[in-house]
Amino acid sequence: MISADRGDARMAHADATVTVLVYSDNRNTREQGRLALGRRPAADLPEIEYLECATAPAVVGALDLHATGGALIDLLILDGEAVPEGGMGLCRQLKDEIHGCPPVLLLIARPQDSWLATWSGADAVITRPVEPAALAEAVATLLRSRLAGNN
C-alpha cells in the first residue's frame, strides 16, 4: 500500500509515473481504454504507464508481485464483460483476498449492472462505450486519492 509520504513524493515529481493495469480478454477493449485515457488524466497527476492483462491469472500474478514489493500498481481497470472471468467477479476476489488492493475502476456494458459493480467492491464504475472525459475524471479522482495515501 502506498504511504502518504510516498504519494506526496510521487505527486511532487513531474517525471514520476503511475501504473494502471488494464484487464480484458479483448485486445480492442484494452486499447480503447488506453486511448480514451491517454498518457495523463489530469495536469496535476503523473504520466501513466500501462500494464495490459488478457487473463485473470495474469492480473492475480501482477498483484502478487505488487504485494511482495515488485512492480507498483496504482489502479486497476477491469472489463466487467471479460470472458471467461469477468471483471466483477475478479474485483470481488481481489478486494477480498489482497490487503491494500489498489482501487478498481470497473467497465460495464449496461447501467443496470451497477448494483453488481457495487457488490464487487469496485471503487468506480464507467459504462461502455467509454466516454473519454468520464474515464479521465474517474481515474483522476481514484489516483489522487491513492497517491495521497487514502487507499
pLDDT of residue 116: 85
pLDDT score of 150 more than 80: no
pLDDT tens across 84-143, in order? 999 999 999 999 998 889 999 999 998 888 888 889 999 999 998 899 999 999 999 999
Question: CB-based burial of residue 96 (10 Å sphere; 0-12 exposed, 13-18 middle, 19+ buried)?
Answer: exposed
Domain region containing 63:
4-147
User: Radius of gyration (Cα) for the chain, nearest Å?
Assistant: 14
Task: State the CATH number of the domain containing residue 114.
Answer: 3.40.50.2300
pLDDT of residue 149: 83
pTM: 0.87
Average pLDDT over residues 53-76: 88
Q: How many domains does the chain have?
A: 1
Phi, psi at residue 92, to the nearest 5°?
-60, -45
pLDDT of residue 112: 82
pLDDT score of 5 more than 50: no
Percent of the chain predicted with pLDDT > 70: 88
pLDDT of residue 31: 94
